[in-house]
Amino acid sequence: MTETALEKLVIVGNGMAPGRMLEELFEKAPGRYAVTIFNAEPRVNYDRIMLSPVLSGEKEYEEIIIHGDGWYIKHGITLYKGHKIMAIDRGAKTVTSDHGVTESYDKLVIATGSVPFIIPVPGKELRGVITYRDLDDVQAMLLAAQSREKAVVIGGGLLGLEAAAGLQARGMDVTVLHVMPTLMERQLDPAAGYLLQKAVEERGIKVVTKANTKRILGEEKVEGIELDDGRIIPATLVVMAVGIRPNAGLAKEAGLAVNRGIVVDAGMQTSDGDIMALGECAEVGGMVYGLVAPLYEMARVAASHLAGDRRAAFAHSDTPTKLKVTGINLYSVGDFADADGREEIVLRDATAGIYKRLVLKDNRIIGTVLYGDTADGAWFNDLLKRGTDISEMRDTLIFGQAYQGGSPLDPTAAVAALPDDAEICGCNGVCKGKIVGAITSKGLTSLDDVRAHTKASASCGSCTGLVEQIMSLTLGDTYNPAAVQPMCNCTDLGHDDVRRLIKAKKLKSIPAVMQELEWKTSCGCAKCRPALNYYLVCDWPDEYADDYQSRFINERVHANIQKDGTYSVVPRMWGGVTNSKELRAIADVVDKFNVPLVKVTGGQRIDLLGIEKEDLPAVWADLGQAGFVSGQAYAKGLRTVKTCVGSDWCRFGTQDSTGLGIRIEKFMWGSWTPAKLKMAVSGCPRNCAEATCKDVGVICVDSGFEIHFAGAAGLDIKGTEVLGLVRTEDEALEHIVALTQMYREQARYLERIYKWAKRVGLDEIHRQIMDDTEKRRAYFDRFVFSQKFAQVDPWSERVSGKDKHEFRPMATVGFNQAAE
């Protein structure tokens, strides 16, 4: 510690802008300030841009934390969580929180952000009307989404559409109301707005444009919305996402100059020399900002001033807009209004759903709108920022960088061709040169390192691919994009490589895999052998001979081992349906073999527990007499298809859910999968079969069958993702089978479908199963082929004598020796 006390820096607000400012400040002037932060939200600094992926379920809150508690401790920051500052006393230079904490400051930074705009209509205070701003809002939406009822999102801008997509992904029936004729009119021209609306509607979200909300209906809780034209839209949740306004109230009460936002100069200084403001609450050069790139620029400027460098100044620049809705790609930057002296180049590809428009003035790009294919966004933006004269390449400009000057289509080459000052990360304003410089000077080798040192791809992550390409270019072969986790200690290869090589090298036995892939052990281990056995069964169903000794005991003896070494037996009950004959046969088995416990399972069947291994074949023989086959309750394979009673019985049923469940189970039983696979079919959205937490689920609706997948209700709890809606039972079966086959071919052994889906991305699965008919059929056909070899009842095989050594001791010795 120095003799002079540290200067006291107090920050009001703990969002992304002050967080970034502190990072820069600690780098520029370490140890200069004692920092105190008051955060009205009861948590640390997280990435607000990523709230939409949290809402849609693609990310968890923990994944979007920017500064964990450890960071505050490491930098000696006092963080008051859940403390709202009520007053600033500029004379005494103190601030006071709603919990009565008063702190004095030498320098004060106001970063109170923004508040959502609430449209002043009757009913705006009803329960169920919320905004979309912070994690609490997301949690409120997730809670509301559990009802799977109707939601209305007011506002068809960036935030509103992201909220709508998230709620829809969570199973709500969503309508977007937008006051203008086309969506996102501030960032998109009408043509792109139209394409966007079509894409949004294709996902099942209703869009009403030119919609003026008259009032929100309901007594205590919201029940619907009434529009000016008299239309009424029922809803149990209303999300207002019509815009934000700077949160400048505190500054105004303290007597600082406030216009739309807190007025600051280009150095982020307010009208009080000891108080700065930055972020969404600040107004600089008459503008207020809401996108992260300019806010981070403010943070950089503020940090420089706090560190004593008075030269830093904020300058306005256009920020590209991207929508974070999985499966919808759009990009816009600059000015693209029609005006005199402007020309435009437009490319449309209706079948591929692509629209690109460049707005030119004096042979320079001044605006860009890209929809569908946004790969060249960064390049167009670079030309725009640079003011490059494009007359030389005008004819091919719209086709993108790859078509210019005969340069190759290799994406790495395109990145190599970018100049050093080309912007790679728009959120954090990081250019190529800075990334390359950090990699070489600091010896960085991993993506995480590069993120930590440069911030590139550390916010929205959409430039991760570009950053990785730069790393490949800079590091050459030493960069290993995904340092893989080896399968086990027997090999350095990861599961994905092994799967790929099994196919590529046509390896068709475990010894062949171990030989060709240079296994380090002669015989493998209990981790890799079952995995290899599965991969081979899956990839070569007709040629590979199952290696019985590489299966876990349950799959070897077709029953579930219990803690005392006895087994449990679960016969298949198709779709959870049984009858008196079957129940009588089970009762007889229970009596004959003194079965200690009979238990109904969660998958709608009956479990007989405590059966001695030696008795298994006899138990199966009796069950087989009554028509039972193995329920494969022990398998990494298809387990149950749970159903509700559906339209045959239920007054709410929309389709024959029981029949469909049985049909799926009869079609798919016996198939091995990377991990267990549990399914369900519910006859209506009331979802009595709990299909929305299964590996694969179906919700029947009047218009057809909504296919769900990637749910979990075990170690993790996760609602399903919606794959899509199909009209007929046949289509439902085809899609489910194709999805399962894709999972079978791609997942790592023991990886449940939700983890696989998270890894490969919902987009890709959606594209291959929903959009690509040929691919889907091919998956379906491969599954059907493999079933020819898989659908053999293992119980009846063993009743007929297969593996009989397994069920009896080799010898019994010692008991009668004295007598003999």
Partner 1 sequence: MTMNWIAIGDINDIPLRGARCVRTPTGKIAVFRTAENEVFAIEDHCPHKGGPLSQGIVHGTAVTCPLHNWVISLETGKALGADEGEVRTIPIRNDNGALFVALENLALAAAE
End-to-end CA distance of the chain: 90
Query: Of the candidates 57, 524, 637, 670, which one interacts with partner 1 according to CB under 8 A?
Result: 524
Q: Rule CB under 8 A: is residue 818 a binding residue for partner 1?
A: yes
CB under 8 A, 24+ apart: contacts of 184-191:
184/156, 184/157, 184/158, 184/321, 184/323, 184/330, 186/157, 187/157, 187/158, 187/321, 187/332, 188/330, 188/332, 188/369, 188/371, 189/336, 189/357, 189/369, 191/346, 191/348, 191/355, 191/357, 191/369
Query: Of the candidates 146, 396, 521, 728, which one interacts with partner 1 according to CB under 8 A?
Result: 521
Q: Rule CB under 8 A: is residue 801 a binding residue for partner 1?
A: no
Minimum distance, C-beta of residue 77 to partner 1, in the bound complex (Å): 39
Minimum distance, C-beta of residue 79 to partner 1, in the bound complex (Å): 38
Report which of 10, 18, 105 is spatially closest to residue 303, judged by C-alpha positions: 18
Q: In this chain, which stretch among 36-44, 126-134, 149-157, 806-814 interacts with partner 1, using CB under 8 A?
A: 806-814
**Residue 772 burial by CB count (10 A; 0-12/13-18/19+): exposed, middle or buried?**
middle
Minimum distance, C-beta of residue 522 to partner 1, in the bound complex (Å): 7
Q: How far apart are CA 248 and CA 612, in angstroms?
A: 74
Interface of this chain with partner 1, residues 546 to 605, rule: CB under 8 A:
548-554, 557, 561, 563, 565
Q: Rule CB under 8 A: is residue 529 a binding residue for partner 1?
A: yes
Nearer to partner 1 by Cβ, of 548 and 785: the residue is 548
CB 529 within 8 A of CB 537: no
Site string for partner 1, 467-506 (x = CB under 8 A): ----------------------------------------
Nearer to partner 1 by Cβ, of 19 and 524: the residue is 524
Minimum distance, C-beta of residue 51 to partner 1, in the bound complex (Å): 40
Q: Rule CB under 8 A: is residue 715 a binding residue for partner 1?
A: no
Task: Compute the half-sphere exposure of residue 623: CA atoms within 13 Å on the CB side of its CA.
Answer: 28
CB under 8 A, 24+ apart: contacts of 405-411:
411/465, 411/469
Site string for partner 1, 760-799 (x = CB under 8 A): ----------------------------------------
Nearer to partner 1 by Cβ, of 529 and 735: the residue is 529
Minimum distance, C-beta of residue 558 to partner 1, in the bound complex (Å): 13
Q: How far apart are CA 278 and CA 18, in angstroms?
A: 8
Q: In this chain, which stretch among 194-202, 397-405, 542-550, 762-770 interacts with partner 1, using CB under 8 A?
A: 542-550
CA angle 12, 16, 20 (to 5 degrees): 95
Report which of 713, 577, 721, 579 is spatially closest to residue 646, judged by C-alpha positions: 577
Report which of 488, 472, 469 is spatially closest to residue 480, judged by C-alpha positions: 472
Nearer to partner 1 by Cβ, of 406 and 809: the residue is 809
Nearer to partner 1 by Cβ, of 563 and 651: the residue is 563
Minimum distance, C-beta of residue 513 to partner 1, in the bound complex (Å): 14
Nearer to partner 1 by Cβ, of 480 and 562: the residue is 562
Nearer to partner 1 by Cβ, of 548 and 649: the residue is 548
Minimum distance, C-beta of residue 802 to partner 1, in the bound complex (Å): 13
Nearer to partner 1 by Cβ, of 479 and 544: the residue is 544
Minimum distance, C-beta of residue 552 to partner 1, in the bound complex (Å): 7
Q: Rule CB under 8 A: is residue 811 a binding residue for partner 1?
A: yes
Q: Rule CB under 8 A: is residue 341 a binding residue for partner 1?
A: no
| Token pair of 481 as six digits | 């994009």
Nearer to partner 1 by Cβ, of 383 and 510: the residue is 510
Nearer to partner 1 by Cβ, of 565 and 801: the residue is 565
Query: Of the candidates 1, 337, 350, 810, which one interacts with partner 1 according to CB under 8 A?
Result: 810
237-240 and 150-154: which strand pairing?
Answer: parallel
Nearer to partner 1 by Cβ, of 260 and 520: the residue is 520
461 vs 49, 335, 379, 465, 723, CA distance in Å? 10, 25, 18, 9, 24
Minimum distance, C-beta of residue 636 to partner 1, in the bound complex (Å): 14
Nearer to partner 1 by Cβ, of 144 and 532: the residue is 532
Minimum distance, C-beta of residue 810 to partner 1, in the bound complex (Å): 4
Query: Of the candidates 526, 600, 715, 717, which one interacts with partner 1 according to CB under 8 A?
Result: 526
Q: In this chain, which stretch among 10-18, 257-265, 315-323, 810-818 interacts with partner 1, using CB under 8 A?
A: 810-818
Q: Rule CB under 8 A: is residue 87 a binding residue for partner 1?
A: no
Residues contacting partner 1: total by CB under 8 A: 29
Backbone angles phi, psi at 630, to 5 degrees: -60, 140
Minimum distance, C-beta of residue 549 to partner 1, in the bound complex (Å): 4
| Token pair of 456 as six digits | 């590139």
Q: Rule CB under 8 A: is residue 814 a binding residue for partner 1?
A: yes
Minimum distance, C-beta of residue 634 to partner 1, in the bound complex (Å): 11
Q: Rule CB under 8 A: is residue 523 a binding residue for partner 1?
A: yes
Q: In this chain, which stretch among 51-59, 281-289, 753-761, 807-815 interacts with partner 1, using CB under 8 A?
A: 807-815
Report which of 135, 133, 131 is spatially closest to residue 66, judged by C-alpha positions: 135
Nearer to partner 1 by Cβ, of 96 and 554: the residue is 554
Q: For the residues of 255-303, what is the DSSP string, one character each?
A: T--BSSSEEE-TT-B-SSTTEEE-GGGEEETTEE--SHHHHHHHHHHHH
CB 410 within 8 A of CB 392: no
Nearer to partner 1 by Cβ, of 120 and 801: the residue is 801
Q: How far apart are CA 61 and CA 138, in angstroms?
A: 10
Interface of this chain with partner 1, residues 375 to 434, rule: CB under 8 A:
none
CB 91 within 8 A of CB 272: no
Site string for partner 1, 635-664 (x = CB under 8 A): ------------------------------
Buried b (16+ CB within 10 A) or exposed e, 240-257: bbbebbbbbebbeebebe
Nearer to partner 1 by Cβ, of 93 and 529: the residue is 529
* Chain center to CA of 550: 35
CA angle 241, 245, 251 (to 5 degrees): 150
**Cross-sheet strand order for the sheet of 704-709:** 638-643, 677-682, 696-701, 704-709, 721-726
Q: How far apart are CA 720 and CA 304, in angstroms?
A: 47
Contacts of 69 by beta carbon, 8 Å cutoff, 6+ apart: 44
Minimum distance, C-beta of residue 527 to partner 1, in the bound complex (Å): 8
Nearer to partner 1 by Cβ, of 478 and 549: the residue is 549
Q: In this chain, which stretch among 181-189, 253-261, 515-523, 741-749 interacts with partner 1, using CB under 8 A?
A: 515-523
- The backbone region for 250, taken as left when phi is positive above 0, alpha when psi lies in -120 to 50, beta otherwise, is alpha
Q: How far apart are CA 91 and CA 274, in angstroms?
A: 11
Secondary structure of 88-133 in HEC code, one letter for each residue: EECCCCEEEECCCCEEECCEEEECCCEEECCCCCCCCCCECEEECC
Minimum distance, C-beta of residue 808 to partner 1, in the bound complex (Å): 9
Task: Compute the half-sphere exposure of residue 221: CA atoms within 13 Å on the CB side of its CA.
Answer: 7
Minimum distance, C-beta of residue 615 to partner 1, in the bound complex (Å): 15
CB 136 within 8 A of CB 47: no
- The DSSP code for 548 is G
Q: Rule CB under 8 A: is residue 812 a binding residue for partner 1?
A: yes
Residues lying near partner 1 in the complex (CB under 8 A) are found at 521-526, 529-530, 548-554, 557, 561, 563, 565, 805, 809-815, 817-818
